[in-house]
Amino acid sequence: MYKKIKMKSKNNYQYTFVTALMILIAFLGITFRENRNKYFYIPIGIIGVYLVAEREFNRKTNRYDILNKIKNFSRK
């Protein structure tokens, strides 16, 4: 069980680093490239923002579910 938790936390750090790096690459590519090459970086930025938003949404829903379980358990 400890290994599983350790692996999850390791993946969280990699996931956070990759999404931030994707957004940074897209921002730098859009600002410093020529006009014809800017469109290449837009999908990278969109995917990076989507991954961050999805992660935050999943965290909120998981917290809400856990809170409801705690409330239901304490009522019994």
Long-range interactions of 43-52: CB distance < 8 A, separation 24+ = 47/22, 48/19, 48/20, 48/21, 48/22, 48/23, 49/23, 51/15, 51/18, 51/19, 51/22, 52/19, 52/23
pLDDT of the residue at 13: 77
pLDDT of the residue at 49: 92
pLDDT of the residue at 27: 93
Render pLDDT for 1-60 as a digit per residue (tens, 0 to 9).
Answer: 455 555 565 667 788 888 899 999 999 998 988 888 788 888 999 999 999 899 889 889
Domain edges within the chain? 2-75
pLDDT of the residue at 5: 52
